[in-house]
Structure 1
Amino acid sequence: MSQDIDYGNLMHTAMRGLIKTVLTDVSENGLPGAHHFFITFDTRQDGVELADWLRERYPEEMTVVMQHWFENLEVGDDGFGITLNFGDAPETLYIPYGSIKTFVDPSVEFGLRFESPEDEDESEAYVEDSIEVEEEEDHQDADVVSLDSFRK
């Protein structure tokens, strides 16, 4: 048994569980009120499924928006599947929770950022406490729960 409790990984697991719970509710009841999500994920992660043309266009990371139109939201233990519209072309994606880098709901200024070990090297000089997300009509800031403080 390890001598240390890995709080960083425990927090990541808990926060991904929160995303699963939120998406499960949305799959059963729809998006309430003005809620909508910006989900950025690593397209290189094992288990990510998306059309070849999307993978070519977004070889490292991609941000999807769940707002006005989405279909077939299926939430599983390891990730979720969803059909989104890309310029009048519906495409089905599968996004494992482990590939998610940020999850933001700007309608309530809520956001989660998942840092990887590579990100730690880049972010040692500062602590990120908010993320700016862009929408077509306006700009809003969302608070982000940073898990850096739980890492060694």
Structure 2
Amino acid sequence: MSRPIDYGNLMHRAMRGLIEEVLRGVERDGLPGEHHFFITFDTRHPDAKLADWLRERYPEEMTVVMQHWFDGLSVDPDGFAITLNFGDTPEPLYIPFDAVRTFVDPSVEFGLRFETQEEEDDEDDNGDQPPEEDGHRDAEVVSLDQWRK
């Protein structure tokens, strides 16, 4: 029996690649114009690196903003390192692409949301369990209403 095309996993990889490409451009040229990013990530990801006090304050997920001040952006195939300012305290972070839950650029009303299989299971009202797909997250377009002022 042949395996079906795994569109969810293909979309997942494509969207992570899009984020990587955008961040590589920012690494090289800086943020153009009014562009800025809200990036929500899973702080429990085994490869996420953040200060202990940040992990204690955000035990499941945290949203960071890349806008006016950031330093040391370095992108690799698995994620990105960046130093951000938290209450006048610069803190280095490493965020794996697989830990990213949302990536939003409100200046152009663009956003992506990556949902885990467990979240989809919780939303399934008819009691059917969707099949496990190697624990990968599926990609979808995120509504920007939550970031509108």
TM range (shorter): 0.7 to 0.9
Amino acid at match of 1:59: P
| 2:115 match: secondary structure | coil
Residue 70 of structure 2 aligns with an amino acid whose one-letter code is F
Which stretches of structure 1, 4 residues or longer, exceed 6 Å deviation after superposition?
none
For residues 146 and 65 of structure 2, what CA distance do their matches in structure 1 show?
11
> Aligned letter for 2:88?
D
Deviation by residue 1:4-37 (Cα, 9 ceiling, x = unmatched): 1111011010000000000000010000000000
Superposed, which structure 2 residues align to 1:1-152 within 5 Å?
3-124=3-124, 130-134=143-147, 139=149
Alpha-carbon offset, residue 108 of structure 1: 0.2
The runs of 5 or more residues in structure 2 that have no matched partner are 126-139
TM-score (norm 2): 0.85
- C-alpha root-mean-square deviation of aligned residues, in Å? 1.8
Q: Percent identity?
A: 67
Alpha-carbon distance change, 131 to 28 in structure 1, aligned in 2, over 3 angstroms: same
**Contact residue 111 and residue 142 of structure 2 kept, 8 A:** no
Aligned residue pair count: 135
Runs (5+) with no aligned partner, structure 1? 140-152
Contact 2:70/2:84 (<8 A) preserved: yes
Check conservation: 1:106, 1:133, Cα contact below 8 A. Answer: no
Measured in 2, the distance between the counterparts of 1:40 and 1:79 equals: 13
